[in-house]
């Protein structure tokens, strides 16, 4: 079972991303559990106060309160192994997240063009890590 977090304040986009992830994992016959959060504070609180261990977290960079980059920095201090994928309309922000050892960066303006390729690549990475 792969545990995935999505931290995105746009509920419509969050629902679309969640659906794409579920369909892709189903296509590969993999089980996943997806938790959705609308702010950085929410996901940090969940990580600190529950037994959930995320394998993957998708972060929107622009979030209310603490932004996605700072949220990821705080989570990275707690767990180095989580796979991070950032999502944004702000293409220039990619350079601000490179030090977080991210897996990929999804530009919302290219979402429909890139999402399947990125999810296929993510699942290949998960299968490789499972073999190790």
Measured in degrees and rounded to the nearest 5, phi and psi for residue 80 equal -85, -15
pLDDT digits (tens, 9 = 90+) for 45-93: 999 999 999 999 999 988 999 999 899 999 999 999 999 999 887 666 5
Whether the per-residue pLDDT at 94 is higher than 70: the answer is no
Measured in degrees and rounded to the nearest 5, phi and psi for residue 51 equal -95, 10
| Radius of gyration over every alpha carbon of the chain, rounded to an integer in angstroms | 14
CA atoms within 13 A on the CB side of 18: 16
pTM of structure: 0.92
Four-residue CA torsion sign, 91, 94, 97, 103: positive
The region that residue 40 occupies, defined by phi over 0 for left and psi between -120 and 50 for alpha, beta otherwise, is alpha
* Residues facing residue 50 across a β-bridge: none
Q: What rounded mean pLDDT belongs to the chain?
A: 91
């Amino acid at each position: 079972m792969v545990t995935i977090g999505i931290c995105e304040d746009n509920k419509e986009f969050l629902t679309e991303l969640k659906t794409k992830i579920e369909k892709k994992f189903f296509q590969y016959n993999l089980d996943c559990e997806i938790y959705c959060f609308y702010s950085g504070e929410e996901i940090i609180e969940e990580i600190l106060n529950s037994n959930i261990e995320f394998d993957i977290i998708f972060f929107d960079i622009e979030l209310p309160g603490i932004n996605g980059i700072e949220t990821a920095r705080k989570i990275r201090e707690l767990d180095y192994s989580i796979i991070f994928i950032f999502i944004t309309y702000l293409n220039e922000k990619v350079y601000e997240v490179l030090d977080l050892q991210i897996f990929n960066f999804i530009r919302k303006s290219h979402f429909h063009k890139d999402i399947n390729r990125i999810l296929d690549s993510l699942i290949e990475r998960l299968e490789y890590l499972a073999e190790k």
